[in-house]
Structure 1
Amino acid sequence: MYAEKVLSGMRPTGRLHLGHYHGVLKNWIRLQHEYPCLFFVADWHALTTDYDEPGTIAASTHDMIIDWLAAGVDPSQATLFIQSRVPEHAELHLLLSMMTPLGWLERVPTYKDQQEKLSHKDLTTYGFLGYPLLMSADILIYRADKVPVGEDQIPHIEFTRELARRFNHMYGREPGFEDKARESVKKLGSKRAKQYEELRTRFLEKGDEAAIEQAHALLDDVQHLPHGDRERLFGYLEGGGKMILVEPDALLTEARRMPGLDGQKMSKSYANTIALREDEESITKKIRTMQTDPQRVRRTDPGNPDKCPVWQFHVIYSSGEVQDWVQKGCRSAGIGCIECKQPVIDGILKEQEPMRERAKAYEDDPQLVRNIIADGCERARKLAQETMRDVREAMGLDFN
């Protein structure tokens, strides 16, 4: 079985804001200490909707990577790379497009949603229709078994799983597979071979998922087993062929809605953001001029925190003690809005201070960023090339 890997990417839209930090980056920072992680700049994905405005992608990529590093993504713990620097993504995407039913792409829920949201753009392109397939290629090229996503992205992961299953079924059936699989079983030794056959029967006859896990653990324990036999036995276990592409699982992330300055979701399109690494004066001004409870016209009027966008920031940045102070003080008019906003300002500035410090070295010397990306691209490409070697062989495209 292939080693555990986490893969996640982000479109280069320029400087990131607090919504990106709390929604994605904090999770990446946690995951990089738990699994081997690959984090990539999805620059080709940016072209699916902005194919007519490619000029900003390079600068946006540079700014976004500095934000990743500033937030605490560690290149010694995770592999950071740019999608377009690993051409194997495009090759796998092309080969998968040959066997992907058109109906599968049209059924992806976000296809029609995005067309409606971006109705001002001409999205009647293959690139837009095929972006779930490119996303699948991004995952499958690294045999990543864990992809951190929100609930709205689960259909993309299921699409990728179906695609891997279809590929393995079509191309994993080598001539004489059953006979070769039985020969591979013998290489386990009599005791393990018997266990393997019992677990395989339990799964195929009763659908026992625990049996699959036990069989995977059994195969992982066999150190001397050649790579080809190992993959053959993983496929034989589930009644299929050789497992060439790994079916990923969705790693569901906690949906944390970061409020914007106006109470809506924080988004550049709403012009309600606070950027990572934004200067202190700008942050202070933005919070101080935030809209509060519209019913609280005068300092002496009692307010309702539930109707105030500032309260949503307290939920994220303030301790329970401060939150109690806000609730009581606002409802009784014991505190004014300026007083109420100060702990939020302090909380955001405290969070951003180490980010500004970490970013300084990369801002002063852009070559540091280029070196990190060059190293990450090299590591990522090596993994991608291994997968493509197996894919070409399975499809009969290895002419060497």
Structure 2
Amino acid sequence: MTLANRPTILTGDRTTGPLHLGHYIGSLRARVQLQHEARQFLLLADTQALTDNVGRHQKVTENVIEVALDYLAVGIDPAKSTILIQSQVPELAELSQYLLNLVTVARLERNPTIKDEIRLRGFERDIPAGFLTYPVSQAADITAFQATHVPVGDDQLPMIEQTNELVRRFNNIVDRQVLVECEAVLSPVTRLPGIDGKAKMSKSLGNAITLGATADEITRAVNNMYTDPKHLRVSDPGQVEGNVVFAFLDAFEPDAAQVDELKAQYRRGGLGDSVVKRVLNERLQSLLEPIRARRREYEDDRAEVLAILRSGTARAREVAGATLSEVKRALGLTYFEA
């Protein structure tokens, strides 16, 4: 595949906390591979994080470095992937402003992802305007870099749909192909449950295992995982469906035959939760120990991490600036051009 034919990838994370295993299985693992196959932009979405963190801005900005450390620790190579800070690319905010004119409040309120997030946060009708327009901001991020593919979880598919709606509407209005539609790239495991089994994994819900978790923290989390409450004795048949330990084994154990054998034994009876948890703990320890070690190396040189972010953001501004210039030219906002 030539450089010109490589797809362009845009992905990122809100900087509200360190990344966890849900992020890893949902997209981080794929991003490490994609950087060898595509032109990839990784966005640290601090501006979007501020939309529902009023008064907690310090946490948002501090976590820019934490998320960057997680990127580098899992194997993102800044020579192959462009890591940028959203708030430091003003072109994104300007493009958002133009796209906001192409969507109604009613359409934003119908977005299933936004509806779920509003309900989760208990906003009811007291919705911050910035949060309601989150899909437009995300569309600006995607289109500014002419992204053709966006790795997402299945809960983000409505955001991709809305992005493409805005792309088509803009191109139709200006009667030329300026912005590019994108395609969602789904992970085989699109959502990882929290260790409590009650919701998707989330740092804010306290049911996550972070990528920087210590060996002891991993063990405690695995031991506290929700299994089958009716599986009281080793000899009892157990239920695999809804059992968080098996959900994690499906996601992280590459030996599918071993997992299938454990499931069959668990369903028959004769396999205790402690044994299955021990298998999972060993797998997670093996996965996270090298990530944790690389993270410590980068933590010792935060100046280098900032230099990586500064360089990536500068490259991103060049690309976003070129797209914005085309958008403004299409809209006739070129008063001083010769």
TM-score normalised by structure 1 residue count: 0.75
Shift in Å, 1:60: 1.4
Corresponding residue of 1:199: none
Shift in Å, 1:79: 0.7
Shift in Å, 1:382: 0.5
Give 1:108's aligned amino acid. Answer: N
Give yes or no for the alignment of 1:59 onto 2:57.
no
User: Which of residues 295, 298, 301 is equivalent to 1:362?
Assistant: 298
Q: Secondary structure at the match of 1:361?
A: helix
Structure 1 residues 334 and 49, CA gap change in structure 2 (3 angstroms): same
Q: Secondary structure at the match of 2:240?
A: helix
Q: Name structure 1 gaps, 5 residues minimum.
A: 172-240
User: Which of residues 258, 267, 280 is equivalent to 2:215?
Assistant: 280
Cα distance in 2 for residues equivalent to 1:46 and 1:153? 16
Give 1:29's aligned amino acid. Answer: V
Corresponding residue of 1:251: 185
User: Which of residues 24, 27, 31 is equivalent to 1:24?
Assistant: 27
Cα distance in 2 for residues equivalent to 1:95 and 1:104? 16
Cα deviation digits, residues 336-376 of structure 1 (max 9, x gap): 43333222111001001220222122111111210111111
Q: Secondary structure at the match of 1:9?
A: strand
User: Which of residues 1, 8, 21 is equivalent to 1:5?
Assistant: 8
Structure 1 residues 107 and 311, CA gap change in structure 2 (3 angstroms): closer
Corresponding residue of 1:310: 245
Q: Secondary structure at the match of 1:6?
A: strand
Corresponding residue of 1:339: 275
Cα distance in 1 for residues equivalent to 2:102 and 2:226? 53
Corresponding residue of 2:203: 268
Cα distance in 1 for residues equivalent to 2:143 and 2:260? 48
Corresponding residue of 1:128: 131
Give 2:64's aligned amino acid. Answer: T
Shift in Å, 1:290: 3.8
Higher helix share: 1
Shift in Å, 1:67: 1.0
Cα distance in 2 for residues equivalent to 1:289 and 1:98? 48
Q: Say whether the 8 Å CA contact 2:171–2:177 is kept in structure 1.
A: yes
Structure 1 residues 302 and 138, CA gap change in structure 2 (3 angstroms): same
Q: Say whether the 8 Å CA contact 1:328–1:334 is kept in structure 2.
A: no
Structure 1 residues 103 and 313, CA gap change in structure 2 (3 angstroms): closer
Q: Say whether the 8 Å CA contact 1:149–1:251 is kept in structure 2.
A: yes
Give 2:292's aligned amino acid. Answer: R
Report the identity percentage.
38
Matches within 5 A, 1:78-89: 78-89=81-92
Q: Name structure 2 gaps, 5 residues minimum.
A: none
Matches within 5 A, 1:9-158: 9-120=12-123, 123-158=126-161
Q: Say whether the 8 Å CA contact 1:2–1:143 is kept in structure 2.
A: no
Matches within 5 A, 1:322-333: 322-323=258-259, 326-327=262-263, 330=266
Corresponding residue of 1:236: none
Aligned length: 330
Give yes or no for the alignment of 1:389 onto 2:325.
yes
Shift in Å, 1:7: 0.7
> Bigger radius of gyration, 1 or 2?
1
Corresponding residue of 1:160: 163
Q: Say whether the 8 Å CA contact 2:25–2:251 is kept in structure 1.
A: no
Structure 1 residues 317 and 143, CA gap change in structure 2 (3 angstroms): closer
Corresponding residue of 1:242: 176
